Amino acid sequence: MEKAWYSKKWMTVLFHAAAWILLFSLPALLRSSHNPNEAKSPEQVNTTIIFFIQLVGDAILIAFFYLHAIVLIPKLLYKKKYLLYSLSILACFFIYVVSMWILWDNFPKPKFNFSFEDHLFISIFIFIFILACSTAYKTIRDKFIADRLAKEKETEHLKTELSLLRSQASPHFMFNILNNMVALARKQSDELEPSLIKFSSLMRYMLYETEEEKVSLENEEEYLQSYIDLQQQRLSKKVVVNVNMCKADKIYEIDPMLLIPFVENAFKHGSGYIENPRIDIELKALNNMLYFRVSNKYDPTMQQVKDKASGIGLANVRRRLDLLHPGKYKLDITTDNGLFTVSLQINLAS
């Protein structure tokens, strides 16, 4: 996944450079804005040397900032080497104070009154400020990296779980279709050959197209229709199947094999010993919303014998919906007046 523009390396470097320029230019900007007409004192004559000394001091502070954040904190503080960490901080402070003292004390004539005590007092506050900024920077950066890694880990976990759920759906579906093929073979039906051709096209869809994260809704509709045709060939006239798939108002994409478990469940539990079995299937996509409804007749008094794979389909698809469309779908499963109905709405807007 491509990084956002604000997280790219060149943007980070640019941001740091701008922050340092603003920070170290602030005293000069405030001084000039305070009294722009102030006459220059003798001590302000050699501005080039003063600028050079200040530049050296700034460079030492910047070096300490990154040394502290990149080396001292992870190598010493995080590893609980507190004594060595403290000595390192004191050593850096000593280098800064002595370096600035030497530069200012050897400032060429005309000299100004240089007080080492004042210099030490001011240096302590400046150094503590840079130390605090470096610590905050390292803490925030580590937190950001930890959050990003946790998010990436969660994403990979979800991808793995979705892959597992999809791998569970495919064998379950194939077992049902193969059972249909066995039934046709036993009847020595002439519909066996066209059924095998449809089955091969379904296998091609499952093996190649469903590896993508999304497939076109049109392809998924064709897949559903092929499955329904196979079931109708097996059941002949025993089950009335009404299919209404309206053409979408624009091109949509959907997660592969997301809808088939509902249709599978309807054929599995809506046929057999049901009196006047009937299955209704409706699918439409309008205004970025997918509307899918499957209903089948069922007998609540009949104690159905469930196989080991029973329930995988609906439990699987509910989990996939939770992972893929959190808060963007509505799934209602109702049983009323001898009808088992599944209604699904998905917001397809990205």
Contacts 24+ apart (CB under 8 A), 27-31: none
Would you give the DSSP letter of residue 305?
P
The number of beta carbons lying within 10 Å of the beta carbon of residue 15 is: 11
Per-residue pLDDT of the chain (350 residues; tens, 9 = 90+): 444 444 566 666 776 777 777 766 755 554 444 444 444 444 444 667 777 777 788 888 888 888 988 889 988 988 889 999 999 999 988 988 888 888 777 765 445 555 667 767 788 888 888 888 889 888 988 888 888 877 776 766 666 665 655 655 556 667 767 887 887 788 887 778 888 888 887 777 777 766 677 888 988 898 888 888 877 877 767 788 999 998 888 889 988 878 888 888 888 888 777 788 889 999 999 999 999 999 998 877 664 544 444 445 677 778 888 878 888 899 999 988 888 999 999 998 86
- Please tell me whether residue 283 adopts helix, strand or coil conformation: strand
Record the tokens describing residue 5, joined without a space.
């523009």
User: Which residue, among 259, 270, 242, has the nearest Cα to 340 in the 3D structure?
Assistant: 270
Residue 133 has a CB neighbour count (10 Å cut-off) of: 16
Task: Determine if the peptide bond prior to 256 is cis (ω within 30°).
Answer: no
pLDDT at 338: 83
Q: Which amino acid is at 126?
A: I
Q: Contact at 8 Å (CB) between 226 and 201?
A: yes
What per-residue confidence (pLDDT) applies to 84? 92
Fold of 167-347: Heat Shock Protein 90 (3.30.565)
pLDDT of residue 44: 47
Helices (H), 209-259: 217-235
Q: At what angle do helices 116-187 and 192-208 cross, to 10 degrees?
A: 170
Q: Are 242 and 280 in contact (CB under 8 A)?
A: yes
Pairing state between β 339-347 and 329-336: antiparallel
Position 308 scores a pLDDT of 44
pTM of the complete model: 0.54
Separation of alpha carbons 130 and 118, rounded Å? 19
| Cβ 215 vs Cβ 253: under 8 Å | yes
Q: Range(s) for CATH 3.30.565.10 in the chain?
A: 167-347
Residue 136: both structure tokens together: 């905050």
Structure tokens at 13: 């470097």
For 212-232, b/e burial (b = at least 16 CB within 10 A) is eeebbbbebbebbebbbbbbb
- Tell me the C-alpha distance between 152 and 162, whole Å: 15
